[in-house]
Structure 1
């Protein structure tokens, strides 16, 4: 089989933080496939605007749902499961015909990204490669100007979509924290951080490394509506020389 799928990590948003390999693959692509919400261009596609050949073939994979259905509703998993199956089959048939398909991915393809759902469905059927990248959380803690961990610190990456009591427990147990998928969960995250006595050390980073990047302490962001690409951080205070 001469075709293949390549999941290409674009990094956190700043084009200068894209790897040389990612840049080369994107610029040389004859076919690109990317995820997007219906009616939107999609962050991954926007990130590679100006890098693609004029005659590139584009495959837009449009999510059937995003936030319209609660995550714990069985209909959510059913809709996305069918979507990923259909998308994987479309890519598989094109690869079987000898096509190379580049899939640009925000951040790192193997870190909470949609590409993973294609990868698990395709990896035993067609050649699939993955190009790693700098994660959004790396850019976020760099934007604060402080190391996220020291010495023996334990770093926990926690999803804000978890129940509040679970968040509080995870927050208490960690020395350093990265909290993702904030969005409408911000107030729940605030309460859990306060209960875990880590609120006064927390930072909010919006759109790390992008043009609209904004960095502030969480205390100074009271009542603020945060964009999708937002991360809450608590820096470790561990052993150091």
Structure 2
């Protein structure tokens, strides 16, 4: 029996119209569809493809055992997640061993800070794993602001809001253009770091980029509200131009 193939399919930032032709075809014809989600939630990747999956498709929701319940610094965090990814891999491998193809839905691009990478490293090498690239969420975010993110020789830095405040501030100060992802509960820390770096007044907050509930505003106008996980902060570069 010929083994099946695993497809890590990038769905783009959230708008179905921004999916690639190949991603659209794979999603619409998939017999087995896997996706990550938080327990009790529908899953953002799954929501992006609502109405596209065949009624006969078999879905495999991979529910994270932890998200923010345990600090990243706690050794248990990696232990629990490592076992989780191993279990997910075993199920997907059982399908490919039976000759079935599996489409894994990935928000944004599969190789850009996505959970799919943890499956890829466990599966690639002994089964066929194909990755379908996509528009990243940050691209959708800076486009939503209506201004270019970089000019000329600008240096673009991409930072995670989960970093410690000092690391955030020093990297922000050294960047010409800036993207900060994984905001959520880290918003106040990110605000302080931007102020330390002298970039707070130039920052934009984009929530749910390219999705129907997208919002774009200056960070200074956002108030003290807690932003959702799917939010991105950008600071535009002001470099060389003709």
Short-chain TM bin: over 0.9
Aligned residues: 241
Alignment of 1:178-217 (within 5 A): 178-217=179-218
Residue 68 of structure 1 aligns to a residue whose secondary structure is: coil
Q: Once the 2 structures are TM-superposed, how far is the Cα of residue 50 of structure 1 from its aligned partner? A: 1.1
Q: Once the 2 structures are TM-superposed, how far is the Cα of residue 193 of structure 1 from its aligned partner? A: 0.8
Q: Does 1:42 align with 2:43?
A: yes
**In the alignment, what sits opposite 2:219?**
218
Q: Which runs of 5+ in 1 are unaligned?
A: none
Q: Does 1:176 align with 2:177?
A: yes
**Cα deviation digits, residues 83-113 of structure 1 (max 9, x gap):** 0011111111210110100011111111111
Instruction: Compute the RMSD of aligned alpha carbons.
Output: 0.8
**In the alignment, what sits opposite 1:104?**
105
C-alpha distance in structure 1 between counterparts of 2:212 and 2:17, whole Å: 12
Large movers: runs of 4+ above 6 Å: none
TM-score w.r.t. the length of structure 1 is: 0.98
Contact 2:3 2:127 in 1 (8 A): no
Q: Does 1:7 align with 2:3?
A: no
Contact 1:176 1:234 in 2 (8 A): yes
Contact 1:92 1:125 in 2 (8 A): no
Further displaced range: 90-99 or 5-14: 90-99
Q: Which runs of 5+ in 2 are unaligned?
A: none
C-alpha distance in structure 1 between counterparts of 2:73 and 2:147, whole Å: 36
**Cα deviation digits, residues 173-203 of structure 1 (max 9, x gap):** 1000000011111111111111111111111
**In the alignment, what sits opposite 2:150?**
149
Q: Once the 2 structures are TM-superposed, how far is the Cα of residue 222 of structure 1 from its aligned partner? A: 2.0
C-alpha distance in structure 2 between counterparts of 1:198 and 1:140, whole Å: 18
**In the alignment, what sits opposite 1:69?**
70
TM-score w.r.t. the length of structure 2 is: 0.98
